[in-house]
Chains A and B, each alone.
Chain A
Amino acid sequence: MNAAAAAGEGAGHLTEERRARALELVSLYPHPRSALVPLCHLAQEQDGWLVPAAVEEIAGLVGITPAEVLGTASFYEMLHTEPVGTYVVSVCTNIACMLQGAYELLDHIEQRLGVRPGSTTADGTFTLEDVECIADCGRAPCLAVNHRFVGNVTPESFDRLVDDLVAGRLADDIPAHGTLVRVRRRGGLAVDDDTVWAEREAMAQRLAAAAAEGQS
């Protein structure tokens, strides 16, 4: 672990439970910075978006500056540096969906939600975005709500979806924005580097011996 993380620099924003998960994430990689994107997802799970205090805490965890965290996070579509709604509705308009009427569907969705892509409803419930292919083209036109896929969408089925979301009927299937993976890694790393090193070294010698035997 890097010195800044060990000293708890920037700590205090993530809940105790998430802080523990954050430290576990950092430990999964040979270099702490690799945990940056997973940590951003973790922060979004707590706040829905990357609040400045979370950015500072992540910087401390991986040993870089908050500006470097933001500079990296801003490259990625799924990481939000401004607040978003509880439900981020991502409508695919790429070629496969377009051929199945995605833009006509998007017109309807804009009307139903009363916002254009890139904006959030006044009550903070929905953020609408038009996105590139989300790889569910067998069910075009498709969309995702908080990255949970919904296929073969019609104006009518979209209206029902909105009603169900607002009424809380889909809470089990579609968590609030930011929650990406609800399955926890069990056990962390099972093998330490020294064990792996010794095994590889032994195998290398075995292979060299086999090669020498093959030549003789």
Chain B
Amino acid sequence: MTVTDAPRIVTARLGQEGSHTLERYLAAGGYEGLRKALAMRPDEVAAEVDAVSLLGRGGAGFPAGRKWSMLRKAPTTYLVVNGDESEPATFKDHLLLEGDPHQLIEGVVIAAYAIQAARAFIYVRGEFALGLERVQAALNEAYEHGAVGRDIFGSGFSIDIVVHPGAGAYICGEETALLESLEGKRGFPRIKPPYFPAAVGLYGEPTVVNNVETLSNLPWVLVHGSGAFTALGAGRSTGTRLFALAGHVANPGVYEVEMVKTTFRDLVYDDALGGGIPGGRGLKALIPGGVSAPWFGPEHLDLPLGQDEVGEAGSMLGSGSVVVMDDTTCVVRAAWRITRFFWRESCGQCTPCREGSGWLEKVLRRIEEGAGRESDVDLLMDLCDNLAPGVSWPPQQTTICVLGPSIPSSIASAVRMFRDDFLVHVKEGGCPHG
């Protein structure tokens, strides 16, 4: 399904009958990566992962190997899997959890061995009922198979994994909020510093938090070696990555493509991928990397899907979601809906986010509904400036976590790219799109 001839690393089995079962996983060479890892020293496994520049697939894109190497030395360390996928229009981990849970579990045990974790927790978004059932069933099979639990494959390494359901809160995807939630509290992001759970994490102990897709890469890396992985992609963006494509495209879905060698145009228009915009309509804008990311216009279509390439162009690959908006889209409504999301999901700890999100939502709604004023457009930008001074990218921080300062992304994009659309709403007393 890739436009290059790169192998499918994490989606090889997706879509096949019974892909979630141990039987199918073993038939496809499952748990060989773990056997290989257990025959190595933990620091050798960590070095192998560090060598591949496995950029975190959750949103921040921090290299997994670096994250591991920052662990504070302590008798007890934890591994926590972030399966709280909630960034709007991101639905790749959802597929991995339901479709290939053994691949994740194998990745978890490999990582736990490398960092010598005392216990691992897989935090799965509560809404993923089927995903939770599939992961638990796979874990039960893995215990029976000897791949988890006591003396794994006779190696002398033992670890337990606990599947933990969330209960509906976007903010719990932020890793310190996730740890609070896992401790049985409200999902309030923790004040930084310490910046990384590697220093102070779950129950105050050093903790590594890795995303589902990130860890799902590990079995392949161990089997094929770091060289095979770094042969794919370019620069820091090695390997393949999952992109969740949604909005106005013929074939919405999750696609695994080679990083950097694939462009936004490939993703949206290639027949094997998005298949283009229905009805022959043009592209108005696309949102790369989740709704926290600044938008791109048609002039960015040939940009490679690489973390630094997209970062230098003023946005981010973020959570790996791409939303396509065709030329009939009301961008005021789109910006309003995204802002409404942030307003509903703000945890309320910090004033700029709690208050700012609500006021931005109100102003956008009145423009969309036809009660806007011409000065509202500047008012929006002024409010955005309060949340993220300068409204630049990456945003200046005013709050404990990045949720608040991400709110201006869509609004500033819509205002800067389509200011006239806002003015037409004001002058015509409502949305010209109806």
Contact = CB atoms under 8 A, between A and B. Distances in A.
Contacts of B182: 34
B158 A95 contact: no
Nearest to A179: B129
Contacts of A94: 88-89, 337, 341
Contact of B88 (A96, A144, A149, A181): A96
Contacts of A197: 75, 118
B41 interface: yes
Nearest to B245: A138
A71 B186 contact: yes
Given A96-B89, A135-B91, A140-B246, A41 B126 contact: yes
The CB with the most chain B CB atoms within 10 A, among A75, A78, A197, is that of A75
A72 interface: yes
Given A133-B341, A191-B150, A207-B42, A149 B130 contact: yes
Contact of B247 (A95, A146, A181, A206): A95
B159 A191 contact: yes
A182 B133 contact: yes
A2 to B, nearest CB: 13
Contacts of B244: 137-138
Interface in A76-102: 76-79, 90, 93-96, 98-100
Contacts of A139: 252
Contacts of A36: 184-185
A37 B187 CA distance: 11
Interface residues of A, number: 67
Interface of B: 41-43, 75, 85-91, 93-94, 116, 118-119, 125-130, 132-133, 136-137, 139-140, 143-144, 148-150, 156-160, 162-170, 181-187, 203, 244-248, 252-254, 287, 291, 321, 323, 325, 329, 333-334, 337-338, 341, 344-345, 347
A159 interface: no
B158 A147 contact: no
A33 B185 contact: yes
Interface in A32-50: 33-38, 40-41
Interface of A: 28-31, 33-38, 40-41, 62, 71-73, 75-79, 90, 93-96, 98-100, 132-140, 144, 146-149, 180-187, 189-191, 193, 195-197, 199-204, 206-207, 210
A15 to B, nearest CB: 20
A133 B292 CA distance: 14
Contacts of A132: 86, 88, 170, 341, 344-345
A210 B43 CA distance: 10
Given A71-B186, A137-B252, A207-B41, 12 more contacts: A29-B162, A78-B127, A95-B341, A96-B246, A96-B323, A98-B334, A99-B325, A135-B91, A137-B244, A180-B165, A185-B139, A207-B42
Given A96-B323, A98-B333, A37 B89 contact: no
A28 B169 CA distance: 23
A101 B182 CA distance: 36
22 contacts: A31-B203, A33-B183, A37-B165, A62-B184, A73-B167, A76-B187, A78-B166, A94-B337, A99-B334, A132-B86, A132-B170, A133-B86, A135-B86, A138-B253, A139-B252, A147-B128, A147-B129, A181-B133, A185-B139, A187-B143, A187-B149, A200-B116
A196 B167 contact: no
The CB with the most chain A CB atoms within 10 A, among B127, B156, B253, is that of B127
Given A37-B181, A78-B167, A137-B252, A191 B162 contact: no
Given A99-B323, A181-B129, A77 B168 contact: yes
The CB with the most chain A CB atoms within 10 A, among B133, B165, B187, B345, is that of B165
Nearest to A149: B130
A73 B126 CA distance: 13
A137 B132 contact: no
Contact of A147 (B93, B127, B150, B291): B127
Contact of A203 (B116, B137, B144, B246): B116
B433 to A, nearest CB: 12
B184 A33 contact: yes
The CB with the most chain A CB atoms within 10 A, among B75, B88, B143, is that of B88
A173 to B, nearest CB: 10
Contacts of A28: 162
Contacts of A199: 156-158
A183 B165 contact: no
A95 B181 contact: no
Contacts of B245: 138
